[in-house]
């Protein structure tokens, strides 16, 4: 009898969905001081969990459950079961716990599988694809998206005499999941998910948690996937539970039956997005990232080193972003794909990104030079760090991504001059000046590479990307008379004030 090949898996963080109901009769009958204590201790617990005060890594979020199945959901992701266990028990010591009953729970663990990347599991092999590396990282160490709506359901793969998923050859299973993932790509930027394995941990084989700002996007995605054979022939589902996220500080409003706004989350760290990919559950491959994953967004690094750089540049008359939060956040990637192919992919992503008020623009930038090492850049600008982190996940799934700005393998210092909006009548002058500056840069110690790229759809919108051996090497250039003269000259030829974004990859 032939034994089918199971995919290898690697596990990451443990996931607990903790569903609670409120004893509303007890809540209404309780004296004011007990209710106040319960609210205060509940806020303290939930806020500390979302800050991940209890562990080195992880994430948590709080939700109001819709319908009769529960009232409150606290979602935890932590590196170990001990972390999860401690969180469960510490909640029971709060005054809020006395007014709750656990309706249900689901325990699982994030995972990646060989359906996604066989080479990842081959001994001694390195995954060279930058997008795939980031995808793997964000699948096993995800962050909870900052979306209002959430839908959770457990699922199995069918094992019947007629349709047994586990009797299919590996290649056929992989093909099913790849086809399934193509459907999910159409919802990039609108629906994200965390898929976690639960074989041996809970009643089903996987837990799937979907996130989105528009519940109908989740509905449409699941409806469309019902017609795919990976689901129609081979999937079995448990109950679905829907919920709305709210910040812990609004717990009092939640318990008072008042409208609970989703804004104002007290989570103190960024939220990335999650690749929806080729797990056995038939995940939707949407792109990925996670928390930070090496994504450096303009002006939002709070290190003292970057603060001093910005201060020094400000003294030189160069705007380098606010020390603790740029007004625009940038994600920049480079791809070896044909620009025409990239453009078609970007068009689809952009139509989804435009659903969000925080989206400023996403565009393809092509090198104005003709050197062999010229690269095509993808730039996505957002008003918030969380939105930029989310976008980074989807963008990393673009074809032939070779690197992300600030994510080089070797230690270096990156600067990125952005928002060079050139007055049309001075475009030729700007290109000529850049060529002269390039000659100066080539002679400078510590300079590695500088490239000028122009927006494919607006040739007057440009950015300059440079790599240096160290921060001090870059600063020597910024302190030079030649740079000061260029800045002064730029006031006449540029329509807006340029900004310089620092993308350090580890070297001071």
Catalytic residues: 153
- Tell me how far apart the alpha carbons of residues 341 and 339 are, in angstroms, rounded to a whole number: 5
**Residue 195 β-bridge partners:** 208
Give the relative orientation of helices 385-395 and 339-353 as an angle to the nearest 10 degrees.
Answer: 140
- Tell me how far apart the alpha carbons of residues 393 and 274 are, in angstroms, rounded to a whole number: 6
Task: Please tell me whether residue 154 adopts helix, strand or coil conformation.
Answer: strand
Task: Please tell me whether residue 172 adopts helix, strand or coil conformation.
Answer: helix
- Tell me how far apart the alpha carbons of residues 99 and 107 are, in angstroms, rounded to a whole number: 23
Q: Which of 103, 197, 115 is nearest to 155 (CA)?
A: 197
Task: Please tell me whether residue 279 adopts helix, strand or coil conformation.
Answer: coil
With residue 192 as reference, give the H or E element that holds it. Answer: strand 192-197
Taken in order 112, 118, 120, 122, the sign of the CA dihedral is positive
CA distances 359 to 177, 328, 374, 453, Å, are: 31, 10, 27, 21
Q: Which of 266, 206, 311, 243 is nearest to 42 (CA)?
A: 266
Share in percent of the chain as helix, strand, coil (round to 5): 35, 25, 40
| DSSP for 293-350, written as a single string | TT---TT----HHHHHHHHHHHHTT-----TT--SSEEEEEEE-S-HHHHHHHHHHHH
- Tell me how far apart the alpha carbons of residues 253 and 245 are, in angstroms, rounded to a whole number: 13
Tokens of 297: 């967004």
Tokens of 313: 């540049």
Q: What is the DSSP letter of 418?
A: E
- Tell me how far apart the alpha carbons of residues 281 and 307 are, in angstroms, rounded to a whole number: 45
**Residue 335 β-bridge partners:** 376, 401
Q: 290 with 142: CB under 8 angstroms?
A: yes
Tally the C-alpha atoms within 13 A of residue 39's C-alpha that lie toward its C-beta. Answer: 16
| DSSP for 78-136, written as a single string | ESSHHHHHHHHHHHHTSGGGGGEEEEEEEEEEEEEETTT-GGGGSTT-----HHHHHHH
Provide CB contacts within 8 A for 216, sequence distance 6+. Answer: none
- Tell me how far apart the alpha carbons of residues 205 and 194 are, in angstroms, rounded to a whole number: 14
Q: 20 with 72: CB under 8 angstroms?
A: yes
């Amino acid at each position: 009898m032939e034994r089918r090949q199971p995919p290898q898996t690697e596990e990451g963080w443990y996931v607990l969905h903790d569903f609670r109901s409120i004893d509303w009769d007890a809540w209404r009958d309780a004296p004011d001081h007990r209710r106040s204590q319960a609210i205060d201790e509940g806020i303290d617990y939930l806020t500390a969990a979302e800050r991940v005060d209890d562990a080195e890594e992880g994430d948590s979020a709080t939700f109001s459950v819709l319908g009769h199945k529960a009232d409150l959901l606290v979602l935890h992701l932590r590196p170990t079961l001990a972390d999860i266990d401690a969180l469960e028990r510490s909640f029971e010591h709060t005054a809020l716990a006395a007014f709750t009953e656990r309706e249900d729970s689901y325990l699982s663990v994030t995972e990646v599988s060989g359906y996604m990347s066989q080479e990842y599991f081959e001994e001694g092999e390195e995954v060279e694809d930058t997008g795939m590396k980031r995808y793997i990282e964000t699948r096993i160490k995800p962050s909870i998206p900052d979306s209002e709506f959430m839908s959770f359901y457990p699922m199995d793969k069918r094992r019947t005499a007629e349709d047994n998923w586990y009797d299919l050859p590996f290649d056929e299973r992989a093909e099913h999941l790849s086809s399934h993932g193509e459907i999910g790509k159409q919802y990039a930027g609108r629906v994200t998910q965390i898929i976690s394995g639960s074989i041996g941990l809970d009643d089903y084989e996987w837990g799937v948690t979907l996130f989105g700002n528009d519940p109908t996007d989740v509905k449409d995605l699941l409806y469309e996937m019902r017609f795919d054979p990976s689901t129609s022939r081979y999937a079995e589902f448990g109950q679905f539970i829907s919920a709305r996220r709210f910040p812990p500080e609004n717990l009092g409003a939640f318990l008072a039956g008042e409208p609970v706004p989703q804004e104002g989350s007290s989570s103190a760290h960024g939220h990335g997005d999650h690749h929806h990919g080729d797990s056995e559950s038939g995940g939707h491959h949407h792109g990925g990232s996670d928390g930070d994953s090496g994504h450096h967004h303009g002006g939002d690094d709070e290190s003292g080193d970057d603060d001093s750089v910005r201060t020094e540049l400000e003294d030189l008359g160069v705007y380098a972003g606010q020390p603790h939060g740029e007004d625009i956040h940038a994600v920049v990637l480079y791809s070896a794909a044909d620009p025409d192919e990239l453009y078609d992919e970007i068009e689809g992503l952009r139509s989804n990104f435009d659903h969000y008020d925080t989206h400023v623009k996403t565009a393809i930038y092509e090198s104005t030079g003709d050197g062999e090492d010229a690269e095509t850049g993808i730039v996505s600008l957002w008003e918030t760090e969380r939105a930029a982190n989310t976008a980074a996940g989807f963008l990393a799934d673009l074809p032939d991504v070779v690197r992300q700005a600030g994510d080089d393998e070797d230690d270096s210092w990156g600067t990125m001059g952005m928002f060079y909006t050139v007055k049309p009548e001075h475009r030729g002058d700007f290109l000529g000046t850049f060529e002269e500056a390039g000659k100066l840069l080539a002679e400078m110690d510590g300079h590695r590479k500088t490239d000028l790229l122009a927006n494919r759809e607006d040739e007057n919108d440009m950015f300059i990307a440079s790599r240096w051996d160290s921060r001090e090497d870059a600063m020597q250039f910024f302190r030079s008379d030649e740079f000061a003269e260029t800045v002064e000259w730029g006031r006449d030829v540029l329509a807006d004030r340029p900004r310089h974004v620092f993308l350090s990859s580890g070297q001071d």
